[in-house]
Each structure stands twice: as C-alpha cells, then as structure tokens.
Structure 1
Amino acid sequence: MSETDVDAARERVIEGFERSAEIYGLSRSYGRLYGILFFAHDPMSLDDLAADSGFAKSTVSTAMSELERFHMVHRRSLPGEGKRAFFEAERDFWRIVQELLDREVRREIDTMTRALDDAEAALETADTERARTDLERIRDLQRVYAQSERLVDLATSASADRLRTALSTLSETLRR
C-alpha cells in the first residue's frame, strides 16, 4: 500500500469525523481537527494544528476549547515548551461517552430533579384537580429522572466490556 493510499484512507476517516461533528451541531472544522489529532503520533500545538488544517489559529483555539469540553481532546504541557499548549485526541470512545454522561447528562438530571422537587413541594398542599394532575405528572417524571440517574451511574462506572456483557445477558433473558 502506498503512502497516497494511506493518506486517502485517513482522509476518508477525517471526513467522517467532519460529518459526525455536523450531526452533533458542531462545525465541520471541529471534526477535521479531531481527525488530525486522532492520527497524530504526538501531541500537537495550536500552530501545528493550524498549519496541518489550514484553519486560522483562532479557529483552532476555539475548536480545542470546545473539544476539551466534550472530553475529546486533552491539553498537555511538554517539557521545555514553556506555557505553550499541546493537544492530543482521546481515542477511547467509551471514555468520551462516560465523561459526557457524567458531566453533561448528570448536570441536566440534577437541574430537572431540583425543579421537579421544588414543584412537588409547592403542589403537595394544593387541593385543586389541576394541582393533583400536575403533581401526578411531576411524580411520573421524577421516577423517569431517578431511573435515568441510575442508568448514568451504571454507564459511567462500568467498562465497555462489562456493560456489553450485561446488555447481552439482558437481551438473551428478554428473548426467552
């Protein structure tokens, strides 16, 4: 296989990352930059990423901040490089999913749980039909969020292999 073939294969994957970024409402540039880092053997600086991607350094900086927030890249310091930031891709996609669940989904669950608890407390003493109906709906939603929290706990504490085994066992049980 020639270097040209290798480059073409890498480019197909990087274009896939671009399309994936778009699916999640991000700029295609984020996907391209992640793809460049995915294939990099060493951490890359903002200057290196700008040069390899053709994007402005400001675009690269913004993208790295967002990709860090999504736990897709990690900022590193290298000995002898002073304060210059370097980045590397997180290649363990299960780890990315776990981090997103733990930080982002859990935050949404906590926000809604507080709102539902406050609404429940306010409606518990009300005696109108509307209040009782709303209270019933709120309690149903509280159960959904409690189940969601347990699912997030399970997903963020289990390895991908362990979770896959548990789901396979559950699937077999349900088919019987």
Structure 2
Amino acid sequence: METEQQHIQNRLDEAKNQFISTIAQNMGLYGVSDTNGRLYGTMLFADRPMTLDDMSEALGMSKMSMSTGIRALMDAGMVERVWEKGVRKDLYQSNDDWYQSFTSVFVNRWREASDNNQKAARRAKEDFEVFLEEAEDPYLIDVLQHDLEKINYALNYYEWLDEVIRIFESGEIFAMIPPK
C-alpha cells in the first residue's frame, strides 16, 4: 500500500513530467527537437549537474543521442558545461536564465533570416532596376515600379528588424521590459 509521502511524490513526478512534456512540445520555437526539449526539461528539474550517462539513464536513450542533444542545447544557450571537483566526466546543467536563452536563440534565428532576406531583396532590387531601364512597354514599366515599391518596403522592414535585433543583442530590451 502506498504511503501518503509516496502518493505525494508520485503526483509531483506526474506534474513534473507533464510540464516537461509541454516544454518539449514547444521547443520547436527554439529550433530544438521534441527529444532535446525533453532532455532540457529533465535537466531543468535535476537536483545536480548531469553526465551523459545520467541523462541516458533518465531518458532511456543512447549516450550518443544524449551527446547530440547536449550539443544542440549548448548551441542554443540552454545548457552549459560545468566543473565539479573530483568528477572526471563532463557535467552539464540547464541554463536557468530563460531570458538570456530566449534572446540568444531568437536573435540568432532572426539575424540569419533577416540577413538572407535582405540579400535576396537587394539582388532582386538590382535586377528589377536593370529590367526597368531596359523596359519600353508602359504596362511592364508600371509593374516593375510597383514591384520595386514592394522590395523597398521589404528592405525598410529588414532595417527595422535589424534595429529590433540590435536591441535584443545589446540587452536594451531588458531596460524596456525588465525580466520578472
């Protein structure tokens, strides 16, 4: 028969698992797989830093999978390697600063997308300007001018997005909207 303490512990474990599952499901926003999200959630509730063996045992997955997952989470700034006296294996723990993790992940994704889109828009603008110089048909000229307006609008948006990204990169966002 289950004691009251065991009952409470079982309910606590169930609540943690539910929260970890929800975190894992939403990690796609960070570019993190569901499996790596589960790994992050497990590490979040760990009472001490974990080795790859600890992670493998906790999740019932291969050590190789854990190694791959840790690299992805470290790249996202969500996990960090730590040192502990007398421990020879690599130890990892979750980065508890979710605000910084968010900004690191999203800034990198925004920056990459913005840079790629700006390059494409600049190339298109150059091409459209050449086409406009060569065009003689009034209808085609009108279409090209209208399309150039759209490209210029896009370039203005990406300049604005660069400023938003800069606010996040510099940490100014935290002065505007302080962490709670």
Question: Matched residues, percent identical?
Answer: 24
1:162 aligns with 2:168: no
Cα deviation code 1:17-62 (max 9, x no counterpart) = 2222367675432122111110123321111100111111122112
Residue type at the aligned position of 2:93: E
1:147 is displaced (CA, Å) by 0.8
The structure whose Rg is larger is 2
Do the aligned residues in 1 keep the contact of 2:30 with 2:106 (CA within 8 Å)?
Answer: no
Counterpart in the other structure of 2:91: 86
2:26 counterpart residue number: 20
Distance 1:40 1:150, change over 3 A: same
> For residues 49 and 112 of structure 2, what CA distance do their matches in structure 1 show?
30
For residues 85 and 152 of structure 1, what CA distance do their matches in structure 2 show? 33
Secondary structure of the structure 1 residue equivalent to 2:93: strand
Q: CA deviation at 1:96?
A: 1.3
Aligned counterpart, 1:50: 56
RMSD between aligned residues = 2.6
In 2: Cα distance, 1:133 partner to 1:24 partner:
36
Distance change in 2, residues 1:152/1:88 (3 Å): same
Alignment partner, residue 117 of structure 2: 112
Distance 1:23 1:138, change over 3 A: closer
Conserved 8 A contact 1:155-1:163: no
Alignment of 1:89-168 (within 5 A): 89-125=94-130, 126-127=132-133, 128=135, 129=141, 130-158=143-171, 161-164=174-177
Structure 2 gaps, min length 5:
136-140
Q: How far apart are the structure 1 equivalents of 2:122 and 2:83? A: 44
Q: State yes or no: 1:10 paired with 2:22.
A: no
Once the two structures are overlaid, the 10-residue window that deviates more, 100-109 or 73-82, is 73-82
How far apart are 1:64 and its partner, in Å? 1.4
Is residue 94–residue 160 contact of structure 1 (8 Å, CA) maintained in 2?
Answer: no
Larger deviation: 115-124 or 17-26? 17-26
1:68 maps to amino acid: M
Provide the residue aligned with 1:37 in structure 2.
Answer: 43
Deviates more, 1:72-81 or 1:41-50: 72-81
Q: Residues of 2 paired with 1:133 and 1:113: CA distance?
A: 19
With the length of structure 1 as denominator, give the TM-score of the two structures: 0.77
- Report the number of matched residues: 164
